[in-house]
Amino acid sequence: MSGDLIHLERNGAVAVLTLARPAKLNALTQAMVERLERLADELDRDEAIRAVILTGTGERAFCAGADIADWGGLEPLAFGRRWVRDGHRCFDHLARLRQPLIAALNGAALGGGLELAACADLRLAEAHARLGLPEARVGIIPGWSGTQRLVRRIGGPSVKRLVLTGEPIDAAEALRIGLVDEVVPTGQGLARARALAAGIAERAPVAVELAKLLVNLAEGEEVAAAVEAIAGALAHGTADAKEGIAAFRARRPPVFRGR
């Protein structure tokens, strides 16, 4: 069922993930979150893909957040253990994709939908889009890193305004505060995202991957993994590493030369 609600399209070096639940404003269910995580893992391992786009179906919403029908009846411990933690794991995976992630906001991005958009490296909003964190209106708080990752994106004061008032802002205001990187005419978000992704896919893929990893490191997005990935790749490429592996296989003492 979740496969019908999230589509994956590959076109050369660019992949497009589409939330396809327009009748419910592309609101996320538990099954959709689980499928998003599986697809993120699949794309991260796909060496042919150099850029990923995330968008929604229809003109009304990119994603209206988490479907209250899925989480509203959960007991508190189940809500924390499954809904919140599973969402964090999925969104962390999207934010830490090896490839650049572009969110094309084809409409409203509210609550969990805005937190999903925050996972992207670049965000494009169509002119009619509205963005907000309305959780306080139903007695909860942002649970998928709205008070954490979004702060790293746009700073505490702007996030406090969204969280404490629960009022959405329009695309122009989102651009002003840095919540989106570009505003495009209604109906042109995906086309613009495809053009950006195609340009990124033409760049040197290892340089792009390392640049993203370094910026993530500066933001505190994945400190331990980023440091060890970069240092590990550097060490693995040395002559000493080749000598160490060869010596291990030959069951002899290695002769390291510091290069």
Is 101 inside any structural domain?
yes
**Tokens 């589409």 correspond to what residue?**
18
Supply the DSSP symbol for 121. S
Q: Do residue 177 and residue 229 come from a single domain?
A: no
Side-chain half-sphere exposure of 92, counting CA atoms within 13 A? 13
Per the model's pLDDT, the better-predicted residue between 70 and 8 turns out to be 8
Q: What pTM was estimated for this model as a whole?
A: 0.92
Number of structural domains, the chain?
Answer: 2
Which one is catalytic: 37, 115, 126, 221? 115
Domain of residue 108: give its range.
2-201
**Statement to judge: residues 212 and 101 lie in one domain:** no
User: pLDDT tens, 31-63?
Assistant: 999 999 999 999 999 999 999 999 999 999 999
Residue 218 and residue 240 share a domain: yes
Instruction: State how beta strands 61-63 and 108-110 pair.
Output: parallel
In a domain, 255, yes or no: no
Same domain assignment for residues 137 and 244: no
Tell me: do 89 and 212 sit in the same domain: no
The answer to whether residue 25 sits within a structural domain is yes
What is the distance between the alpha carbons of residues 126 and 182, in angstroms, rounded to a whole number? 9
Is 115 part of the annotated catalytic residue set? yes
**Do 173 and 226 sit in the same domain of this protein?**
no
- Using the predicted structure, report yes or no on whether residue 81 has a pLDDT greater than 70: no
To the query of whether residue 135 is one of the catalytic residues in this protein, the response is yes
H-type helices in 96-238, by residue range? 112-117, 149-154, 156-165, 171-176, 189-201, 205-219, 223-236
**101 plus 217 within the same structural domain:** no
**What is the per-residue pLDDT across 94-122, written as a single tens digit (0 to 9) for each?**
999 999 999 999 999 999 999 999 999 99
Q: What is the largest CA-CA distance in the chain?
A: 68
Neighbouring C-beta atoms of residue 238, cutoff 10 Å: 14
193-210 pLDDT, tens digit per residue, is 999 999 999 999 999 999
Between the CA of residue 240 and those of 22, 174, 181, 255, what are the distances in Å? 56, 50, 44, 8
197 and 209 within one domain = no
Q: Are residues 28 and 71 in contact, defined by beta-carbon separation less than 8 angstroms?
A: no
Specify whether 150 is located in the same domain as 209.
Answer: no
CA 212 to chain centre: 12
**Same domain membership, residue 108 and residue 77:** yes
> Of 119-128, 209-218, 222-231, which range is least confident?
222-231
DSSP state, 27?
A: P
Catalytic residue among 37, 126, 135, 221: 135
